[in-house]
Chains A and B, each alone.
Chain A
Amino acid sequence: MRSPLLDDLSGLDPARHLRAPGHPDDPALARVLAADRTVPDRYRAPVRRSRTAVATGAVAGVAVAVAAGVVVTTTFGGPEAYASWTPTPQVVDPAAAVQDAASCPTAAHAVDEDAADQGSPITEIPVDPVLAEVRGDYTYVLLSGDGALAECFVTTTDGSSQVYSSESVGGTPVPQPGPRELVVAESGTASWSDGPNGEGAVTAAFGRVGDEIEAVTVATADGEQVAASVDDGWFALWAPGEETFSALAQVTYADGTTEEVPLEVRPAG
């Protein structure tokens, strides 16, 4: 079915970096479940017209881990979205940041589809904070566990804390970078605060850096230089907007030299 042409086309997919995992505790799911199930819907369900009853594709026997996460919806309102955001972060102690934001996740959730019929397909993977930064009213915490990564985004725009978080489980482990190497674990637009009631989408990137990398800077679509947080072998940055980062990051090494490197997740192997 697929051809090299279609594979190339996948590189233009506008949603390939979009992360929006579903979690049993999502408020949006709770709202659906609270609706009256007996009211007829307006949309006729698609009818399977094929008479072929044979399912195609073998089911892989390997446990399939998918991302799961929590998106706590909130209402910001106001025309000045992310007004207090700063292109340069203040790096803070990750453990203290998580303590301040009690709702940040302490575990990621792996879903084993093959075990779905056995009653307990979800496995919790503990995650610990590895990096935290503050930009205006927004605190961003990166958490890492065994084969799991999580992000926690805490806002205090309206005076009270609102917490968004997302998890990534089962992907290729982030390799240990060489001394002058930057490894991007994830880069893309998050849907945390998108939608009519949020402040709008944000684009985030994070990963690991070698010992000789002291700073990482990325330009936005507006030409603004956004400094990443670099701490203890990790880096992270985020900025308001959808797919807003340029393709290259500028890294500054301990010897004062700089280099431009791709800000992209490299395939394993």
Chain B
Amino acid sequence: MDDASARERLTRLWVDHREQVVRFVARRAAPEIVDDVVSETYLVAWRRVEDVPTEARAWLFGVARKVLSTQVRTRGRWQALGVRLEREPTAQVPGADDTAAERADLRRAWDLLSDADREVLALVAWDGLSAREAAQVLECRPSTFSVRLTRARKRLLAYSEVRRDTATVLRRLQEERP
């Protein structure tokens, strides 16, 4: 690919997917490193622009995941990406409705999941990927991903039924695990 074509292709990838890549990274990394990870991801895309498939989103997410893994590996917690959760609402609405209560249940359930389960769920629920695309990001077979998704979903559902005090105890036990 000549330089002009490569520039055009990379610019198209930037316009079409930059916001998606920023969101992907922001879900998994501290805000202060998001811009760096996104830039590094596109630098990889620039150097491998001939390899970028037509359906580029999952490819870019896969690269961003690798960039992220390298950046956080020094912190020693890397098999799955630790996916961030939306922060707790800062102001509780008096007389919170059922929706808020269900969200609180879901939040507690999420806290109890493993990083691996969270990553599988986030790829579908937040990043909006199909099983085929998510499998591409994680470098596994789509069938394997589907099995992992089903299991993660069952665990999330089960944990959402756990009482609040029980959930607190479970989370503390998990935190104490080596």
Contact = CB atoms under 8 A, between A and B. Distances in A.
Interface string B65-107: 0110010000000000000111101110100000000110011
A232 interface: no
Interface string A10-29: 11111110111111101011
A9 B43 contact: no
B128 to A, nearest CB: 9
Contact of A41 (B24, B39, B48): B48
Contact of A13 (B32, B86, B93): B86
B34 interface: yes
A128 interface: no
A21 to B, nearest CB: 5
Given A21-B18, A21-B19, A111-B15, A43 B63 contact: yes
Label chain A's interface by main secondary structure: loop
Contacts of A2: 124-125
Contacts, number: 196
Interface in A31-60: 31-33, 35, 37-50, 52, 55-57
Given A13-B125, A50-B135, A66 B106 contact: no
A242 B88 CA distance: 12
Interface in B24-72: 24, 26-27, 31-32, 34-36, 38-39, 42-44, 46-49, 51, 53, 55, 58-59, 62-63, 66-67, 70
17 contacts: A11-B106, A12-B85, A13-B86, A14-B85, A15-B23, A19-B19, A20-B19, A20-B22, A23-B14, A33-B46, A35-B46, A37-B47, A39-B47, A41-B43, A49-B141, A52-B132, A196-B35
Interface of A: 1-3, 5-16, 18-24, 26, 28-29, 31-33, 35, 37-50, 52, 55-57, 66-68, 111, 113, 116, 122, 191, 194-196, 201, 219-221, 242-244, 246-248
Interface of B: 3, 6-7, 10-12, 14-19, 22-24, 26-27, 31-32, 34-36, 38-39, 42-44, 46-49, 51, 53, 55, 58-59, 62-63, 66-67, 70, 84-87, 89-91, 93, 102-103, 106-107, 110, 121, 124-126, 130-132, 135-137, 139-142, 153, 156-157, 160
